[in-house]
Structure 1
Amino acid sequence: MTQNTNLEQLSAAGVSVWLDDLSRTRIESGNLKELIDTRSVVGVTTNPSIFQAALSAGNTYDEQVNQLAAQGADVDTVIRTVTTDDVRNACDVLAPVYEATAGVDGRVSIEVDPRIAHDTDKTVAQAIELWKIVDRPNLLIKIPATEAGIPAIAKVIGEGISVNVTLIFSVERYEAVMNAYLEGLEAAAAAGHDLDTIHSVASFFVSRVDTEVDKRLDAIGTPEATELKGKAALANARLAYSAYQQVFEVGARFQSMLDKGARPQRPLWASTGVKDPSLPDTLYVTELVAPNTVNTMPEKTLDAVADHGEITGDTVTGTGPQSQEIFDRIAALGVDLTDVFLVLENEGVEKFESAWGELLDATREQLDAAKS
């Protein structure tokens, strides 16, 4: 099969294309394999909202849920079983990519229960449990970058487990995430783990930053505020990439671990579906092209890039000063960026908790029906 030219160019520019979606239907129908063959997809990310949508649609999971009900499984066991089965099967579909890229890509992510996002010890315990259940080397355990998540990231990496750090909104929090990764690598090396097998990405959420900042700019209502709309998210991500370069391209702490096989923690652009219809629907892809990055896209965005995305090469490297200027101008207008990022983090956890709650309720109803 032939790869789409636009997505092939994106990959050639150093961006790994990952799909932000997963379902059993997508796996069993061959659609995931088709996206690998025709859309340059080399990874998959999941979250509680994605699983909630998958398990609530149609009757694909009915037979397995009924079997688990007959075995006396509770709702948490059912959800853990069906989601880890899907992720394991997706890992197997992507195994050839994992082998071909020496472990850089071919990755599938599964997230810890969002209800424990503020509990370090429970997050660590569940990350280890999920790693053992899925039992695939190309798995990534998603841990949110909450204050409780930061030490959990270090501990899980220290156990030799690969991690996708999620729900990162600010450069300051991202710097704490990178530090936790390095701390984890140091602990893993001390424990005798092979650092070459440990992989991590840091998921920097993009579109939600514009949604929150633009709302505040609208409230200000001046011509300058209007002129700055739709610019905060790209500036934020580009500043994050500058921070990545400082730590992983020239930072002495990471350089000292290279001979032990350590890999850089790549920035991953998440939430790249454009929410403001006045903005180009490929904005958070074409304007965030840089080497050693990942862009995880919902299928709608993937299709938009395939259809009309214009890839013009690196659009990030060297943009730090201009990006900082945009942030300075936004702050000067009275937008409290620290509060923006706090609101977004809290909302992100709440949204995933809500989706998980809906998933629990729907599964509980299905279990009750199976047992009656």
Structure 2
Amino acid sequence: MSTSSKPAPIQDLEEVGVSVWLDDLSRERLRSGNLVELVETKGIVGVTTNPSIFQAALAQGDAYDEQLRELAASGTDVDDAVFALTTDDVREACDVFRPIYEATDGVDGRVSIEVDPRAARDTARTVELAQALSDTVDRPQVFIKIPATQEGLSAITDTLGAGISVNVTLIFSLERYRAVMNAYLEGLEKALAAGEDISTIHSVASFFVSRVDSEIDARLEKIGTDEALALRGKAGVANARLAYQAYEEVFSTPRWERLEAEGGRKQRPLWASTGVKNPDYSDTLYVVDLAAPNTVNTMPEKTLDAVLDHGEVRGDQVSGTYEEAQQVLDRLAELGVDYTEVTDQLEREGVEKFEASWAELLDGVRTELDKAGTK
């Protein structure tokens, strides 16, 4: 699909340098042709998944029934069944996006799959699972998602060092984001030392947005002053804009320039959690206000449709906004909102949410395997 045939808001975002990815995947989307249709009519150029998305997909409809019967008949255990179901979906989605992957030299056409979130605090297990996912999907455009926990940083470096492309997820704080970028550079350096062609290694860093506003807004409402209430809905965008400032700094250092000269690719910032939680805010807030060069915005379909319907892209809204963004965080600190406490809490809750979704997914597949085995 050519850029000129894409809907105007998507084309406007692309002209700024934004890649639009869908934050959803299901076998129903694949089987019905819906994913192909979204590529052709709505201009998406990639897909992200997570345990919550897979849990929702398997809980609905009958698209997985046939494979579940086959897995039950072969005596597959529940963990292996989930692995087979999810990697099959991702492999098929990769095939849908292969033309985009080839046309963009591997920048887009990407599909992400996350390691079992129960391994989020286990470096060695995460690396092992990342390798297994990469080998099983067996498509060059797959991104392996690794959470940006403290333990995940070494796993990110080791996975990249093995030549596997990584989507680093669950980033909330600027400090952790800088550590993620450092892990990426270390991974490229490790791959280079091992003789890998680092031009084939790609990465995005998924910086979460709306959850920051949800948590900080709740704290501001508890404070309740006019000054506090006036800051609602500002922290998420400000935090992300300062992340972009950090990205610009890191990817202009001599260390990076040495890697770039060897074929290294910049790790693009990806704005995640871009569905607006508060109905008082514009439903395109985290798309329009975070448009910036060399970024990805991964959207739930509801947000994508809002952008297509009434999104007004105003060009780059991030570069040069850093002083204003820092003032927002400074004012929050003056009001007693502890940034580190908020971001630590959000990371902890993010891992817990994915673990809970994974447990639901395992329970659901176990039930379906039992049912299929009795038929």
So what's the TM-score if we normalise by structure 1?
A: 0.99
Instruction: Show the 5 A alignment for 1:156-235.
Output: 156-235=159-238
Equivalent pair of 1:11/1:40 in contact (CA under 8 Å): no
Deviation at 1:370, TM superposition (A): 1.8
Which residue of the partner structure matches residue 274 of structure 2? 272
- Counterpart residue identity of residue 244, structure 2: Y
Give a deviation string over 1:230-266, Cα, whole Å, max 9, x none: 0000000000000000011x21111111121100000
Does residue 25 (structure 1) correspond to residue 31 (structure 2)? The answer is: no
Cα drift, residue 39 of structure 1 = 1.3
Partner residue, 1:45: 48
Structure 2 distance, partners of 1:222, 1:58, is 48
1:11-35 deviations in whole A, cap 9, x for unaligned?
1110000000001111121111111
Q: Which residue of 2 aligns with 1:122?
A: 125
Deviations 1:189-247 (A, max 9, x none): 00010011000000000000000000000111111000000000000000000000001
Contact 1:6 1:306 in 2 (8 A): yes
1:355 pairs with 2:353: no
Corresponding residue to 2:246 among 221, 240, 243: 243
Q: Distance in 1 between matches of 2:262 and 2:29?
A: 38
- Per the TM alignment, residue 91 of structure 1 is displaced from its structure 2 partner at its CA by 0.3
Per-residue Cα deviation, 1:34-67 (whole angstroms, up to 9, x for no partner): 1111212000000000000111101110010000
1:73 aligns with 2:73: no
- State the distance in 1 between where 2:371 and 2:282 align: 45
Gaps of 5+ in 2: none
1:113 aligns with 2:116: yes
2:91 corresponds to 1:88: yes
Shift, 1:301, TM fit: 0.1
Cα distance in 1 for partners of 2:239, 2:185 equals: 22
Q: Secondary structure at 1:140's aligned position in 2?
A: strand
CA RMSD for the aligned pairs?
Answer: 0.7
Q: Following the alignment from structure 2 to structure 1, what is the Cα–Cα distance between the partners of residues 353 and 254?
A: 38
Following superposition, the deviation at residue 269 of structure 1 comes to: 0.1
Take 2:343 and 2:31, find their aligned partners in 1: how far apart are those partners? 39
Number of the residue aligned with 1:343 = 345
Is the partner of 1:17 in helix, strand or coil?
Answer: strand
1:200–1:266: 8 Å Cα contact kept in structure 2? yes
Aligned partner of residue 205 in structure 2, secondary structure = strand
Q: CA deviation at 1:164?
A: 0.0
- Letter of the 2:87 counterpart: T
Distance in 2 separating the partners of 1:157 and 1:145: 14
State the SS of the aligned residue for 2:337: coil
Q: How many residue pairs end up in the alignment?
A: 371
1:172 and 1:240 map into 2 onto residues whose CA distance is: 9
Residue number in structure 1 paired with 2:104: 101
SS in 1 for 2:45: strand
Q: In the alignment, what sits opposite 1:306?
A: 308
Query: Secondary structure of 1:353's match?
Result: helix
1:139 pairs with 2:142: yes
3-state SS in 1 of match to 2:206: strand
1:285 maps to what in 2?
287
SS of the equivalent of 1:28 reads helix
1:81-126 alpha-carbon deviations (Å, 9 max, x no partner): 0100000000000000000000000000000001110000000000
Distance 2:16 2:36 in 1: 23
Note the C-alpha offset of 1:293.
0.1
CA distance in 2 between partners of 1:241 and 1:33 (Å): 31
What do the CA deviations read for 1:144-167 (whole angstroms, capped 9, x no partner)?
000110110000000000000000
The CA distance in 2 between the partners of 1:340 and 1:259, in whole Å, is 38
In the alignment, which of 322, 330, 333 is matched to residue 332 of structure 2?
330
Partner of 1:320: 322
Unaligned 5+ segments in structure 1 are: none
